[in-house]
Amino acid sequence: MNDSDVLRHIARLPHARANFKQLVRELGAKGEARDELERALFRLQQKGELVEPRSGQYVVTRANRDYAVGRVIAHRDGYGFVVMEPPVEGINGDLFLPPDEVEKAMHGDRVLARIVHRGAMGRAEAEIVKILKRAHNDIVGKFRIKRNGCFVIPHDDRIRQWIHIPEGLEIPPRVESKDRVGVKAVDVQGPEDLDGMIVHAEILEFPEDGDWAVGRVVEVLGHEDDFGVDVEIMIRKHHIPHRFPEDVLEQARQTATALADSDWLGRRDFRGLDIVTIDGETARDFDDAVWVERLANGNYALQVHIADVSHYVKPGSAIDREALARGTSVYFPDRAVPMLPVELSTNICSLRPKEERLVMSALLEIDHAGDVVKQELARGVIRSVERMTYTNVHLLLEGDAAMRERYAGLVERFELMRELAEVLNRKRQKRGSIDFDLPEPLIEFDEFGEMVGVRRAPRNIAHRLIEEFMLVANEAVAGHIEGLGWPGMYRIHEPPDAKRVADFEEVAAHFGYSLGVGAIPAKRYHVVDRKRDGRKMNRDVVLVDDRKLQLTSRQYQRLVARIEGKPEERILSYLMLRSLRQARYSESNAGHFALASQTYTHFTSPIRRYPDLVVHRILGAWLDGGQAPLDEGALHTIASDCSFTERRAAEAERELVEWKKLKFMIDRVGEVFSALIIQTAKYGFFVELEELFVEGLVPMETLPGDRFRYQENSRKIVGERSKRLFSIGDRVRVCLVRVDAVEKRLQFSLEEEPRKKKGKR
């Protein structure tokens, strides 16, 4: 009797409710089965799947409109919200938590909440009933000595609780400096040596009823401005596993470094083909290799060979458990935190040139319309003939004589690859796939590892070539798994949220554009709010109905094409992207909106993504003639965990880049820049510097020559006398006046006339 069976049984009962005696009778739970039923009910309560409003009576949470499960999002001003997972019918937005409720949990905790008040337009307030899962078992922050003791003040200002460090728990055990790349070991003799330093603390007791959280210092990172400490802070702040346990390292060391005779069993030999890898200049792990040939019938043969990590990483092994906990590799500007130990990620699993490697292969025949007319999936062995880079392939295809001479034997192959990539791209464009070509910032460092600039990351035909091949391989594998009727792992992207689409349409209209969705179904409510001083404030609130929104990816695609090359392209592309939902992993196929794909998965990067490894195991079980290796319940858990670890990695990567840009700008106070207004608000407008991809605020009160007001209906800032307008998309010149290290933001002032740059100050 597993948890899923018990939950499904209760969900089928009237009101999704049952008592313990009823369950014993209906499930025939006697003896050991009765004990197992008790354990299953306890586990389901711990997960928040069941709630026990009265002793011995169980209700399925998602079937009860009075309860919700979700993640606490705390605000620095004390209040917070519960982001419901899944949403509760009739509730619009997140559940509001007043400050006294937020104090019961910490930012990020997963909780069971009870809805205590339902307001107008579906808004609701809640109280925390139970903490289901703590988000923070440790904290990174600044160690401070206060009159009432020693504390760690969390680096994340959304975590409001300070961690009290009792006497005797301030000095951490020694941590080898090799665990912190580029960071010097810190010698600490007493608590006074720690004052003002960044430390990593383990929480021993969580806060209850307003008490302090209690912890101990386990690691000293150094001063906040020390080289390399920023990366270490991000790793610990986002709880990214970064040290492999000893059993994982030992297992990795025992992994073979060359192929044995037994590894060849059941595999196709592709070593005679001039297969290549194409990656960035700094890449160390090579997941994928490709090969293209024109067939006698005029069609294209595409081979996509992916590192067979599943051959080396077995389910339930120490390496596998750690890989699942990490979920993905994390890439910072100057270092990476890999999902797998280097013995695998950069050695035996990596498709290194001139070395025999095991692969899972998608062998596709593609016609001139871009349709896959035949496919085969197989295990194989390859020997990559070249480790190519995007830059070199681009130069070769652009006619660079030196590159074409250097890779003379591959020129025809690469030109055929480009031809096929263009065919595949036309196919995707025809069906409505969206391509946002937003600039990606690339941090530049000097020889000492110090940031010296930020520029647009290069993107060329070689990038697109590999993208097209990986996309078509992922679709082919996803379709195959779905065709088997087995439980699978899919990469899904659901249609946009109607409210966000409505917000985008409002902004786009000011530029003369629209997605062409017509009137978005909505209701307008007139609301009267009372301010604290008793005065009334009238306002209109619009609610949008998701279920009635008719929208296709082709409408996004057409608008992307219309704005290409226009001054407003950058801002509208960014806002369109924000209107879309986040892609995620799921055991249920819901299609991929942005790719206009009915079936999609991730198969091509098992060295750095755990879901790809799961997909390889499913294919492996089929190739071996076995049964589906995982049921839907297990896949649901893995998909949910990997979606979380993916978001965690993306947030850590983004936050570190923003922090590095902030520190880089400290020495540029007083300089003048060309900028684009990307957002307006009642307190000013946000700009992005055109050359540096750096954002900051121009406060309303600093705008010269007039008193300015924010017009909410038009989202414009207007001068009362001059009628001067500031709108999203306007180009302005701004002067950097302040770098706020606490709030982590830049403040600019409007520069009326071009002037020479000031020196540092």
DSSP string, 558-617: HHHHHHTTSTTHHHHHHHHHHHSPPPEEESS---BTTTTBSS----S-TTTBHHHHHHHH
**Rounded Cα gap, residues 459 and 297, in angstroms:** 33
301 and 331 both lie in a single domain:
yes
CATH number of the domain bearing residue 129 = 2.40.50.140
Tokens in use for 577?
Answer: 């992207």
Residues 286 and 385 in one domain: yes
- Residues 529, 389, single domain; the answer is no
Q: Tell me, yes or no, whether 532 lies in a domain.
A: yes
Residue 42, domain CATH? 1.10.10.10
Number of helices and strands in the chain (H, E): 18, 36
CB 62 within 8 A of CB 86: yes
CATH code for position 213: 2.40.50.700
Task: Look up residue 37 and give its two tokens.
Answer: 């039923």
SS3 content of the chain, % helix, strand, coil (to 5): 35, 30, 40
| Consecutive 10-residue averages of pLDDT for the chain (761 residues) | 80 84 83 84 83 80 81 87 83 88 88 87 86 89 93 90 91 59 64 90 84 90 89 94 95 92 93 96 93 98 98 97 97 92 96 97 98 98 97 96 97 98 96 83 78 79 96 98 96 90 86 80 46 44 52 92 85 89 95 96 98 98 96 94 95 91 91 92 92 90 93 88 91 94 87 58 41
Distance CA 469, CA 475 (A): 10
Q: Do 401 and 519 belong together in one domain? A: no
Q: Are residues 273 and 394 in the same domain?
A: yes
Asked if residue 104 lies in contact with residue 132, where contact means CB atoms within 8 angstroms, the answer is: no
11 with 153, same domain: the answer is no
- How are beta strands 276-279 and 386-389 bridged, if at all? parallel
Query: How confident is the model at residue 19, as a pLDDT?
Result: 84
- Say whether both 681 and 559 belong to one domain: no
Question: Are both 406 and 475 inside the same structural domain?
Answer: yes
Among the three residues 450, 480, 510, which one is the final residue of a domain in this structure?
Answer: 480
Are 225 and 301 in the same domain? no
- What are residue 50's DSSP bridge partners? 60
- pLDDT of 728 reads 86
Q: Which pLDDT score is estimated for 479?
A: 97
Are residues 347 and 468 located together in one domain of the fold? Answer: yes
Last residue of a domain, one of 553, 580, 607: 580
Q: Is residue 603 part of a domain?
A: no
Domain count, the chain: 6
* 301 and 366 co-located in one domain: yes
Segments forming the whole domain that contains residue 100: 65-133
Q: Is residue 319 part of a domain?
A: yes
Residue 129, φ and ψ in degrees, nearest 5: -90, -40
On whether residue 619 sits in a domain, the answer given is: no
Give the span between the Cα atoms of 112 and 129, in whole angstroms: 6
pLDDT of residue 543: 47
Let me know if residue 354 belongs to a domain: yes
Which H/E stretch holds residue 742?
none
- Give φ, ψ of 584 to 5 degrees: -155, 175
In a domain, 528, yes or no: yes
Question: Per the domain annotation, does 639 fall within a domain?
Answer: no
422 & 348 share domain? yes
Residue ending a domain, among 19, 42, 62, is 62
How far apart, in whole angstroms, are the C-alpha atoms of residue 9 and residue 18?
Answer: 9
504 within domain boundaries: yes
Of residues 272, 590, 299, the one with CA closest to residue 423: 299
Instruction: Tell me how many degrees the CA angle 132-138-142 measures, rounded to the nearest 5.
Output: 135
Residue 215 · residue 204 · CB < 8 Å: yes
